[in-house]
A = this chain, B = another copy of it.
Amino acid sequence: MDKFMKVANEEAKKNKEQNFKNGGPFGAVIVKNNKIIAKAHNTVLQDNDPTAHAEINAIRKAGNILKSYDLSDCILYTSCYPCPMCLSAIIWSNIKTVYYGNTKEDAANIGFKDDYIYSIINNANSYLNLKNIDRNETIKLFEEFSKSPTLY
């Protein structure tokens, strides 16, 4: 077994020790220059944080440790294919290589809706009430931003 995937899988197993009361069976590791920068598991239930998936937790830790939101030189290992939230976070972080173990179909088979979210994300009005209001006011800040020098 790949040595880093083994660590990601061990992270996932940490929630088993608590009978999955702290979160689901998911773990992730971020590696840079062949060294582990951060490892994490799902803590949604423990932290009352629906965003606290393994990959998000690992990205947040790595950013904090490397003092950068840009993780370009990092590789992510995750015990399961990232959900759309985590996949987008990976893209925002500039990570380019991801190794995953279980598939999103495997996640669906144990009751997680990753696969479903992928299926509706570009048609979200079929699932959410998404309503556009007050753009005439909110657009003003975007217009100011586009004129500002920024590091973003």
Contact = CB atoms under 8 A, between A and B. Distances in A.
Interface of A: 1-2, 5-6, 8-9, 12-13, 16, 19-21, 23-25, 44-45, 47-51, 56, 59-60, 63-64, 66-71, 79-81, 83-103, 106-107, 109-111, 113, 117-118, 121-122, 124, 127-135, 137-139, 141-142, 144-146, 148-152
Copies of this chain assembled into the complex: 2
A63 to B, nearest CB: 4
Given A102-B139, A132-B103, A110 B145 contact: yes
A18 to B, nearest CB: 10
Contacts of A68: 48
A25 B142 contact: yes
Contacts of A111: 146, 152
A7 to B, nearest CB: 11
